[in-house]
Each structure stands twice: as structure tokens, then as C-alpha cells.
């Protein structure tokens, strides 16, 4: 069964460093998402991406964040200068498209720890 | 309350019992989806119910949706210890590109 994959599973970085979180969505999906979940809190939407551009973003997704689909398979989230409060689990998701009724498939997540 | 609020926050039951949890939301939605998350792990899709549907079944899961009350319920019948997890509802507002709004979740513990 096709699935969304994410690498790495755990990333430890120093405050101020840049990190890139990688995701491989399901191959025929058209809509891509990043969410994050701070420990003990709910899952929060960060950004959605369609047709090679951002379609929606939240207030969390400020200038420190960027997304890219550099090739036909990868979807990346870059945090330019990490802060302690960026420590969270980051989930990538993808959706087939074709209307609003399709489920989103989530990856297993990348746990980001900023020291 | 925020979009996609679940209650109760925590539920502790014995194996074989049914578990019911509720979700309330505020805005008009296209659909509502339930997810499960084991501790520290990813989100597993359980079931999707469209805004024009009232009830849906999948195995031991039964989901209802009442758009007039802006609420949904998830029933897990004959629970098992392996059902121990957090359960989240996620709503897709009608004016979004599929952006999910999650609630804080219901933490279910099923004891053997």
C-alpha cells in the first residue's frame, strides 16, 4: 500500500541552524501539507502546497519557513534559523485531489529537537 | 472552544466495552475525518465522513455527523487493548484547500 515517508525520523540541531525536513508524498497525489505537533499539544497546520506553489499558510509559517518540491517526488520543509520553540514533531501529508472529499495521508513524522 | 474540539479529553475502559468520543466544530465543513495516534507516532487515518452523510461504519468503528449541531461522534465497539491511543477529529473548512483543523484529542486507554 502506498504511503507517505519522511526523513529523518529524528533531527537534533543547535539553535540558529538551518534544517531541512524531507517528505516523499504518495506518487499520484497533488496536494501536499506540513503540520507540526508540539509535545502534548494538538496538531497544527503549517502550509499547503499545490501546483508548485503555496496555497495556504498559517500564522506559524513565517519567513523562517519555506517549502519546496525540488523534483517530482520530494517535498521539503526548511527552517532557516531554528529556535527552541521549533522543537516539535513535523508531519507531512498528501492528498489525491479531485475535490474536498479525499483523505489526507500522513507520514510518520520527523521529531525535531532544537538545543 | 476551538474548531475540532473532542470530548472527553481522556477515557479509560475495559476490553470489550464500547468507547464513544465526540467532536464539535464551528465553521462549515466539507468533511470530517477521524485519526488515531499512538504515543509519539504518526497519524493513522480511520474514517472520513462527508458533510452530506449522517453515519458511516468501518469495521468496529461507527461515525456520526450532525451538521446542524456541528458535531460528530466516534464509537469504537468491543474495544481491545490495541485500541489504546489518542483519537483526533480533523475538519476541513469549506473555504480551505484541505487544510485540516485538529482538536486536542481524546486519549483512550483500554485495559485488558
Interval A36-56: pLDDT, tens? 999 888 899 999 999 999 999
A14-18 long-range CB contacts below 8 Å, 24 or more apart?
A14/A82, A14/A114, A14/A115, A15/A82, A15/A83, A15/A84, A15/A114, A15/A115, A16/A81, A16/A82, A17/A81, A17/A82, A18/A78, A18/A79, A18/A80, A18/A81, A18/A82
Interface check A35 vs B, CB under 8 A:
yes
pLDDT for the residue numbered B20: 95
Residue contacts between A and B (CB atoms, under 8 Å): 68
Region label for B86, one of left (φ > 0), alpha (ψ between -120 and 50) or beta (otherwise): beta
Residue B46, all three cell numbers? 480511520
| Size of chain B, expressed as the number of residues it contains | 112
Indicate the range of A8-12, B1-5, B19-23 predicted with least confidence: B1-5
The three-state (H, E, C) secondary structure of chain A, written as one string: CCCCEEECCEEEECCCCCEEEEEECCCCCCEEEEEEECCCCCEEEEEEEECCEEEEECCCCCCCEEEECCCCCCEEEEECCCCHHHCEEEEEEEECCCCCCCCEEECCCEEEEEC
CA B102 from chain centre, in angstroms, equals 10
**Maximum separation of any 2 CA atoms in chain B, in Å:** 44
State how far residue A100 is from chain B, nearest Cα, in angstroms: 6
A69-72 long-range CB contacts below 8 Å, 24 or more apart?
A69/A32
Query: Which of B90, B98, B103 is the closest to A31 by Cβ?
Result: B98
pLDDT for the residue numbered B4: 63
**Maximum separation of any 2 CA atoms in chain A, in Å:** 42
Nearest by Cα to A87 from A49, A55, A41, A28: A41
Interface check A31 vs B, CB under 8 A:
yes
* Chain B residues near residue A23 by CB distance under 8 angstroms: none
pLDDT for the residue numbered A101: 59
Place of cell 461504519: B57
What percent of chain B is modeled with pLDDT above 70? 96
pLDDT for the residue numbered B72: 94
Mutation site for A-interface testing, chosen from B29, B41, B65, B99 by largest number of A Cβ within 10 Å: B99
* Chain A residues near residue B102 by CB distance under 8 angstroms: 35, 42-45
pLDDT tens-place string over residues A60-92? 999 999 999 988 789 999 999 999 999 999 999
Place of cell 449541531: B69
Mutation site for A-interface testing, chosen from B43, B86, B101 by largest number of A Cβ within 10 Å: B43
pLDDT average, residue stretch B76-97 = 89
Nearest residue on chain A to B2, alpha-carbon basis: A42
User: Which residues, numbered 90 to 109 in chain A, qualify as contacts with chain B under a Cβ-Cβ cut-off of 8 Å?
Assistant: 91, 93, 95, 100-109
What span, in angstroms and rounded, lies between the C-alpha atoms of B101 and A107?
Answer: 17
Amino acid at each position: 500500500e502506498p504511503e507517505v515517508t519522511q526523513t529523518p525520523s529524528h533531527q537534533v540541531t543547535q539553535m540558529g541552524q538551518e534544517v531541512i525536513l524531507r517528505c516523499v508524498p504518495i506518487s499520484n497525489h497533488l496536494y501536499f501539507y506540513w503540520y507540526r505537533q508540539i509535545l502534548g499539544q494538538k496538531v497544527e497546520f503549517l502550509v499547503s502546497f499545490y501546483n508548485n506553489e503555496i496555497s495556504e499558510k498559517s500564522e506559524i509559517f513565517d519567513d523562517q519557513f519555506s517549502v519546496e518540491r525540488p523534483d517530482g517526488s520530494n517535498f521539503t520543509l526548511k527552517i532557516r534559523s531554528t529556535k527552541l520553540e521549533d522543537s516539535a514533531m513535523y508531519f507531512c501529508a498528501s492528498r489525491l485531489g479531485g475535490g474536498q472529499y479525499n483523505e489526507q495521508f500522513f507520514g510518520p513524522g520527523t521529531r525535531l529537537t532544537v538545543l | 472552544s476551538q474548531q475540532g474540539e473532542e470530548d472527553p479529553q481522556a477515557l479509560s475502559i475495559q476490553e470489550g466495552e464500547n468507547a464513544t468520543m465526540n467532536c464539535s466544530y464551528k465553521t462549515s465543513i466539507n468533511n470530517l475525518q477521524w485519526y488515531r495516534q499512538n504515543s509519539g507516532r504518526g497519524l493513522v487515518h480511520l474514517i472520513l465522513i462527508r458533510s452530506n452523510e449522517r453515519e458511516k461504519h468501518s469495521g468496529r468503528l461507527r461515525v456520526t455527523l450532525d451538521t446542524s449541531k456541528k458535531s460528530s461522534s466516534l464509537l469504537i465497539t468491543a474495544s481491545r487493548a490495541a485500541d489504546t491511543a489518542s483519537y483526533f477529529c480533523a475538519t476541513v473548512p469549506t473555504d480551505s484547500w484541505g487544510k485540516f483543523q485538529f482538536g486536542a484529542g481524546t486519549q483512550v486507554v483500554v485495559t485488558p
